[in-house]
C-alpha cells in the first residue's frame, strides 16, 4: 500500500486536469474521494505497523534491493505524520468546495493541491535522499502557485518572495545531498547512516549539517529564516493557508530535518 500515498494524488491530479474541464463538479468529488482514501490508507498503515511489532515497513520500487534501488519506508515517525497530513488535506478540500467558488478555476486549484499533497506524502515515506529532494520540489513548486492563486498584486508579490527564498533553500539542500553522495557514494538514507557510523569526517558532516539547517530552516520558516512566511500565509486562499501552517512547513521542513539529523547524520554529529 505504501506507493498508493503517491500514486493516488498524482493520478487524481491527472484525472482532474482532464475531466474537470468538461465536468467541473467532478473536481470536488474526485479530490474529496482521493483525500478520504489517503486518510483510510494512513490509518491502515498505522494498524499494519502495529501488527508487525513496530518493525519498519519497506517497499522496494521495481523490486530493486537498496541501496541500488529506490525504497519507501514507513516507521513509527512516518506513521504519526501520514495521518496528520492527509486528515488536514481532507478538511482543507472539504472547505474548498464552497470557498473556492469565488476564484476563477477550481480545476487548476485541485490539480495543484493534489500535486502538493503527493509531494508531502513523498517526503514523508521516501527512503533515499534524491527522491526526498524531488518530492520536496513537487510540493514546494505547487505551493508557490497556490499562494499566488488569487493573482492580485499582494498574492503575486508574496508568492514571488516565497519562491525566491524557497529556491535558495532548495539549492542549500541539493548542495548538501551532493556532498553526502560524493562522500558516501550512496543516496539511500539507511546506507548513508551505516557508512557514516564507520568513520566520520567531522568537517564534512559539520558543513553538511549547516547546509541542511539553512535549507530546511527556510522551508519551515524557522527564525531567522522566516521572511517569506508573514506575507505568504495571509495572501494564500484560506485552505492553502491552513495547509501551509498545518502540514506543509512541518512535512517539507521540520519532519525532513528531524529525519536527516536523527536517522542519517546521527544525533551526535
pLDDT of residue 269: 41
Helix 129-147 × helix 106-125 angle, to 10°: 150
pLDDT at 170 over 80: yes
Query: What pLDDT digit, counting tens, does each position of 230-252 carry?
Result: 777 778 888 888 888 888 888 88
pLDDT of residue 268: 52
pTM of the full structure: 0.89
pLDDT at 87 over 90: yes
Q: Please state the rounded mean pLDDT for residues 122-136.
A: 90
Instruction: Please give the C-alpha separations between residue 150 and each of 39, 105, 145, 147, in angstroms, as whole numbers.
Output: 28, 10, 10, 8
- Label residue 138 by pLDDT band (50, 70, 90): very high
Residue (of 34, 68, 90, 75) closest to 185 by Cα position = 68
* Number of domains making up the chain: 1
**Domain of residue 171, residue span:** 4-265
Q: What distance in Å separates the CA atoms of residue 196 and residue 128, rounded to the nearest whole number?
A: 15
- DSSP structural state of residue 37: H
Grid cell locating 175: 548542495
Query: What pLDDT digit, counting tens, does each position of 102-120 carry?
Result: 777 888 889 999 999 999 9
pLDDT at 69 over 80: no
pLDDT at 88 over 90: yes
pLDDT at 91 over 90: yes
Cβ(191)–Cβ(179) below 8 Å: no
Higher-pLDDT residue of 36 and 224 is 36
Amino acid at each position: 500500500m505504501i506507493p498508493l500515498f503517491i500514486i493516488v494524488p498524482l493520478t487524481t491530479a491527472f484525472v482532474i486536469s482532464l475531466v474537470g474541464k468538461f465536468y467541473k463538479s467532478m473536481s470536488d468529488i474526485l479530490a474529496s474521494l482521493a483525500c478520504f482514501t489517503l486518510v483510510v490508507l494512513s490509518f491502515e498503515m498505522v494498524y499494519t505497523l502495529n501488527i508487525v511489532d513496530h518493525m519498519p515497513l519497506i517497499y522496494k520500487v521495481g523490486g530493486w534491493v537498496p541501496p541500488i534501488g529506490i525504497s519507501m519506508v514507513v516507521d513509527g515517525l512516518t506513521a504519526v505524520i501520514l495521518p496528520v497530513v492527509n486528515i488536514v488535506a481532507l478538511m482543507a478540500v472539504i472547505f474548498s468546495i464552497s470557498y473556492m467558488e469565488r476564484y476563477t478555476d477550481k480545476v487548476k486549484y485541485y490539480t495543484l493541491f493534489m500535486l502538493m499533497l503527493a509531494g508531502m506524502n513523498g517526503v514523508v515515506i521516501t527512503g533515499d535522499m534524491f527522491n526526498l529532494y524531488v518530492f520536496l520540489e513537487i510540493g514546494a513548486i505547487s505551493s508557490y502557485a497556490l499562494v499566488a492563486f488569487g493573482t492580485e498584486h499582494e498574492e503575486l508579490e508574496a508568492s514571488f518572495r516565497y519562491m525566491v527564498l524557497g529556491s535558495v533553500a532548495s539549492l542549500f539542500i541539493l548542495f548538501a545531498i551532493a556532498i553526502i553522495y560524493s562522500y558516501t557514494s550512496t543516496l539511500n538514507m539507511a546506507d548513508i547512516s551505516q557508512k557514516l557510523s564507520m568513520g566520520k569526517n567531522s568537517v564534512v558532516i559539520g558543513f553538511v549539517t549547516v547546509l541542511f539547517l539553512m535549507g530546511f530552516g527556510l522551508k519551515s520558516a524557522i527564525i531567522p529564516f522566516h521572511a517569506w512566511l508573514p506575507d505568504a500565509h495571509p495572501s494564500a486562499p484560506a485552505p492553502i493557508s491552513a495547509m501551509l501552517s498545518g502540514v506543509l512547513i512541518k512535512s517539507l521542513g521540520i519532519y525532513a530535518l528531524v529525519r536527516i539529523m536523527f536517522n542519517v547524520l546521527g544525533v551526535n554529529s
